[in-house]
Structure formats: C-alpha cells, structure tokens
Amino acid sequence: MRTFEVVRTGLLASTGHPATQRDVPHRGGEANPSAKALQDKFGWAIERSEVVWGETVVFVEPASVKQVIHWLHDDPSQRYDFLSDVTAVEYRDAEVPIEVVWHLRSLPYRRFLRIKSQIAKGQPLEIDSVYDIYRSADWLERECYDMFGIRFRGHPDLRRILMWESYKEGFPLRKDFPLRGRFSRSEQLRQALAQNPEARYSMEELSIADAFAELPEDMRRRLDKGERTGE
C-alpha cells in the first residue's frame, strides 16, 4: 500500500490573498521592495528603476548583472528562486541599445521583478550567463543567442537551438534581418537540397556509438574538416 496526498489549497487556504490587479497606472505606482533593496546594496551598479504598468523594472549595468541576480537568488530577504524568462529586445530606433531582459519570480514572497541590461551600441553582444544560478537558463539563453546573437559568457553549451546549426543567415529576431530571410528563396531551396540527408548526427553524438567508420565517405570528409552537422 502506498499513499499519495493531494494537497487541496482552497479559496482561503493560501497565506495572504493576492488579488487581480485593477486600474494599473501606466507609470508609477507601488514599486517592488526589492528595487529599493537593490539600490541600497548595489547602488553603483543600478542605473535606474521604474514602474511600468505595475511591474518594477531595474536597469543594471551589464558587468554586474550576474552578481545582482546571484544576490537576488541567494539573499533570504529576496529569494528570487524562479527564473521565468530570459530574452532580449531590440528597438526599431537604431540608436537605442539592445536590452537583455530577465523575468524573475520569488515564489516564497510572491514578487515579480524585471531586470534589464543595456548593451551599448558598438560593444560586442556579450553578457554573463546565469546558468550557474538557474538551470532553466540553459535553453532560454540558447534561444536568446540563436535569435539575437547575444553570447552568454559561461554558458556550457551555447549553440543554436531553434535554427539548425549550419544556419548561415544570421540572427532572425534582429531588426536588420528581413522578414523573409536574408537569402533569396532560390538560394534557400538550393541549400536545402544540397544538404546530405544522412548528416543527422553531430560529432559528439557519433562518438557515442563509435559509428564514424560507418559513415558515407563525403560526410566523413566534411566532419574531418571540422564541419558540425548536427541540428
């Protein structure tokens, strides 16, 4: 006999009663207390903070983002243990820098915080990875790299995730990337037809089975040249 308990948290069971937000102001309103705590603790790294549509946004200087998020995760008064999302925003105005955005949730305190970091124009698109702090950052950062070309320093396996690894057209969500792709349809078709349908495994995967010797000759040549064929 084994028992399973289904905990039933009814209408009034949860502590505190969060309610649907109503009449949220466009700017201003009550800020998340973590914004002030961050200002006190990391005043040198915080550029500014604002409240937009009821959500607190803290702008952090790129070099200290990881340190700030680490503190938010570990400090007992903050406990932002849930990383909802990592993404980036590029504006239509080419003068505005690209922003990397982290959406953090504190499940114990029921707080939501948005951390933003602006990578100045002309700087390399690089920022520290938060993979060591949140494992959920693994695929989210890979997607952000795939779509925007932002390199996350310290990510153990930063490669394309939605596009295939030999994709050569660039980073699709950048504003200078045309909606229909950079290559013409005929070029895209030519490349698709030129793909070797057998070339489905990366070198790393082939090393599992020691299957390199069984590959077709042309694929072996390409792999020897260092070409990665995995998707």
Partner 1 sequence: MSKRTVEVELSTSGMDAQGRAQRVPLVTNDGGTALAIEPPPGIEPELEGEHMLINIGPQHPATHGVLRLVLELDGETVVRCIPHIGYLHCGFEKIGEYRQYNQIICWTDREDYLNSIGNNVAFALGAERLFGIEVTERCKVLRVIAAELSRIMSHLVWLGTFCIDIGAFTPFLWAFQRREEIYRLIEKWVGARLTTSATRVGGMAADIPVGWMDGLRQFTRTFPQTLDEIDRVLTKNAIWVGRTVGLGVMTPDEAVNWGLSGPMLRASGVDYDVRKDFPYMDYETYDFDVPVGTSGDVYDRYLVRFEEMRQSVRILNQAADRLPDGPINIDDPRVILPPKSKATSEMESMIHHFKVVMEGPRPPIGESYVAVESPKGEKGYYMVSDGTAKPVRWRIRPPSFVNLAAIPKMVEGHLLSDVIAINASIDIVMGEIDR
Kindly tell me which residue out of 120, 192, 193, 209 binds partner 1, with binding defined by CB under 8 A.
209
Size of the site for partner 1 (CB under 8 A): 74
Q: How far separated are the first and last CA of the chain, in Å rounded? A: 46
Q: Contact between 76 and partner 1 (CB under 8 A)?
A: no
Interaction of residue 7 with partner 1, rule CB under 8 A: yes
How far is Cα 63 from Cα 149, in angstroms, rounded to an integer?
A: 18
Coil, helix or strand for 230? coil
Under the criterion CB under 8 A, does residue 94 sit at the interface with partner 1?
no
Rule CB under 8 A: is residue 80 a binding residue for partner 1?
no
Task: Compare residues 23 and 40 and give the one whose CB is closer to partner 1.
Answer: 23
Least CB distance to partner 1 at residue 44 (A): 26
Task: Compare residues 63 and 200 and give the one whose CB is closer to partner 1.
Answer: 200
Q: Binding to partner 1 by residue 226, rule CB under 8 A?
A: no
Max Cα–Cα distance, the chain, nearest Å: 68
Nearest residue (CB) to partner 1, 93 versus 217: 93
Distance in Å, CB of 171 to partner 1, minimum: 11
The set of residues, in sequence order, having a beta carbon less than 8 Å from that of 219 and lying 6+ positions away, is 196, 198, 199, 229
Among 35, 38, 58, 114, binds partner 1 (CB under 8 A): 114
DSSP labels, 157-220 = T---SSS-TT--S--TTSTTS-TT-SS-HHHHHHHHHHS-TT--S-HHHHHHHT-GGGS-HHHH
Q: Which of 63, 94, 162, 189 binds partner 1 (CB under 8 A)?
A: 162
Q: Is 205 in the site for partner 1 (CB under 8 A)?
A: yes
Instruction: Tell me the pairing of strands 111-119 and 126-128.
Output: unpaired
What's the sign of the alpha-carbon dihedral 148, 149, 150, 151? positive
Taking CB under 8 A as the binding criterion, the range among 32-40, 79-87, 117-125, 221-229 that sits at the site for partner 1 is 79-87
Q: Is 24 in the site for partner 1 (CB under 8 A)?
A: yes
